[in-house]
Every structure is written in structure tokens, then in C-alpha cells.
Amino acid sequence: FDARKKKKVAEIYQALSSDPIDVATLRRMAISEGGLLTDEIRCKVWPKLLSVNTEDLPPLPGKELREDNKDYQQVLLDVRRSLRRFPPGMPDDQREGLQEELIDIILHVLKRNPQLHYYQGYHDIVVTFLLVVGDRLATALVEKLSTHHLRDFMDPTMDNTKHILNYLMPIIDQVNPKVHDFMQSAEVGTIFALSWLITWFGHVLSDFRHVVRLYDFFLACHPLMPIYFAAVIVLYREREVLDCECDMASVHHLLSQIPQDLPYETLISRAGDLFVQFPPSELAREAAQRTAASTFKDFELASVQQRPDTVLRQRYRQRLHTEDRTDSILAKPRTNRFVKLAVMGLTVALGAAALAVVKSALEWAPKFELQIFP
């Protein structure tokens, strides 16, 4: 492991020192097993993944942002409730100082981008960047993230969220129709995954190492990748779901309690495979056919909690361990790409699937790649 880690670190620094910076390699390193390994490396690589020039950072936000700010009171309440997001054992004065910085970063981004609307859970994403890269760099990274990957979460209404949540069940149906049909019968909807998506799982995972590992993955990929990872979690828990009472309350309670001992590297690989096998463009038609009535219960519940907005849904394609499973899955029509991946057993950590995921990210934001960093 140490040898592989040293080799990976060397590759990362070589990509950082190349001219121009080799962003495609940095994305591949962030996706592959172990992610970016250390916060020191993340401080160097995350800005490149988001195309933020670290030589031209904005000045630190000032306290004047709090005066007559419509979001200040809600941000203050959310930040005060965020004690569990800070490392256990951190001295109170240090944590309180970071909480003040967290408030200022959020208000600064909202002030500079009046088209963005704060939502409960946004602070869970911001605090992750603050803890990893510090306040000044976090301000720049969060602003870029908010106007790109998180943009739909920050709309004034939940309209985009409604559309995006409609992708979850079609993905599950592609991989495991049995789980899909059970969830449909239970009328559980998709609201259980809402907090996962709008916080990039920062709110629901207790181990900070797992949170930053996922952030490596999400920053390196298409903005809809968090949806695929959510689907992977549901599918990984297939046995628990099918053993549950088939009613909305029981299934919602089960799925909303995310396990803390997930096999993260395996799920990341499978989420990448799913993105390649079932890209958003192939799911859009079915998602659009789902009526508002089918998700009414979800959004009746969501409306009294928080307001988010976008990112698609994540799908998980398990490796086929039994012949029964192989027969049932391969019996469904699949694209040539899916069949090839099933036969080759590719994972996102190795080979073609990783390259395809990287390629999708590059195609999504070509303007990121055109910037040459000093």
C-alpha cells in the first residue's frame, strides 16, 4: 500500500507541475482508490478541479455582510447546530472561530451572487471546504462550486429538484427491478436521499475521512455523480430493503438512516460504472414521464424541511455473484456499453470506466480546462 501511495503522490505532483497542468490526470487520481490521500494535496488539487486561480484569491469577507442580510439569522442558526461537523476534541474557542468564518464565507458568496438562494444544508458543504483548505481559499472554491455543481440547489423554488429526483427510480429500475417495484409499492418516494444530495453526504456521514473522499470523487466528475452514488447506496442495501415492511414509513425510516460502515471505495467504483452504463441523457425521457403526482408526498414533506435543487440520481451496478442474478439482469435489454462493461468487469478505479467518467467531466466544463494556471 505504501508503495502504491508513494507512486500516486508522485503522479499527482507531476501532473501539478506540468505545463499546462494535467487536469485530466488529477481527475483520474481523485477518482481512483484512496482519492487525493491528504488534505495537503487537496489544497493543491481541488482548486485545479474547479478552475480556481490560487494566485488571485478574493479578500476575506468582512463582518459588515451581516448587517441587514436576509439570510443571516438562518445561517447563524444552522451554523450553531453544526457542532458535529467539527473534529471531536477541538477546543471550543477554535471551533467558535471557525464557525464565525463559516458564516462569513456563506454570506460573502450569497452577497456576490444574488441569483443564489441559501438552503439548509449548504453550510454542511461549506464547512468541509473550510476545514480542508482554510477560509480564504474555501471562499473562492465554494463560490465556483455554488455557481456550477450546486447551482440548481440554490434556485428560489424546488422545481429543478423535483425533476432531478425523478431520475432515481429509473436508475434503480435499470439495475434491480425488484427493488424498484418494492419501493414503488411502498410509495416511499425519494425524499430520504434529499439531505444526502444537497450536502454531498456531509450532513449524514460521521467520519470526516469518508466525506472528503467523496468530495474528491464528486469534484472530479460530472455534477450529477452524487445522484449515482445515492443510488449505489440504496442498491447495496437491497436485502435490508426487501426484508422491510412494504409501507412508506418503514422503508423511509430504513433508507434515511445511512450506514456508517459502507464500503466506500467499492461504491465509488460502482457509481462510476453506473454513470457510464446509464448516462443522464439515456434516463431523461423516463424521468420526464413521471408525473408530479407520483412525487407529491415527497415534496409535501420536503417543503417543511429544507429547500435544495438539482443533481441527478445515482445508480449502482453490483457485480454479478450468482447465475440467477446474472440471468435476471442480462435478460433486460442493455446498451452495448453496458454489456461490454459487464463482461469486462471494469471498475471506475481502473481502466475505461475511469477514463469515461473523466471524459464526461471534461466535456461538461471545457472552459475549466482552457485556463492555464501560473
Coil, strand or helix at 350: strand
> What percentage of the chain carries pLDDT values higher than 90?
58
**Is the predicted pLDDT of residue 207 greater than 90, yes or no?**
yes
User: Under a CB-based contact definition with an 8 Å cutoff, are residues 118 and 110 in contact?
Assistant: yes
Cell 418503514 locates to: 250
CA dihedral of 33, 34, 35, 40, whole degrees rounded to 10: -150
Print burial letters for 94-105: b (CB count within 10 Å at least 16), e (below 16).
eeeebbebbbbb
**Position 76 confidence tier, pLDDT thresholds 50, 70, 90:** very high
For 175-236, the DSSP string reads H-HHHHHHHHHHT--SGGGHHHHHTTTTTT---HHHHHHHHHHHHHS-TTHHHHHHHHHHHH
- Phi first, then psi, for residue 346 (nearest 5°) are -75, 155
User: Which sign, positive or negative, has the C-alpha torsion 243, 245, 246, 247?
Assistant: negative
**Position 360 confidence tier, pLDDT thresholds 50, 70, 90:** low
Residue 220 and residue 360: Cα distance in Å, rounded?
10
pLDDT of residue 325: 40
CA dihedral of 52, 360, 112, 117, whole degrees rounded to 10: -150
Q: Cβ-count burial of 226 within 10 angstroms (0-12 exposed, 13-18 middle, 19+ buried)?
A: buried
User: Under a CB-based contact definition with an 8 Å cutoff, are residues 308 and 153 in contact?
Assistant: yes
pLDDT of residue 202: 94
How far is the CA of 328 from the CAs of 178, 305, 331, 337, 370, in angstroms? 10, 39, 5, 18, 45
Among 99, 33, 83, which residue's Cα sits nearest to residue 206? 83
End-to-end CA distance of the chain: 33
Residue 209: count of CB within 10 angstroms of its CB? 10
Residue 176 and residue 184: Cα distance in Å, rounded?
13
In the chain, the amino acid numbered 359 is K
Digit-coded pLDDT (tens) for 329-342: 333 443 344 433 33
Digit-coded pLDDT (tens) for 276-299: 999 988 888 777 776 443 444 444
pLDDT of residue 157: 82
pTM for the structure as a whole: 0.79
**Is the predicted pLDDT of residue 314 greater than 60, yes or no?**
no
**Position 164 confidence tier, pLDDT thresholds 50, 70, 90:** confident
32-41, 233-242, 305-314: segment of lowest average pLDDT = 305-314
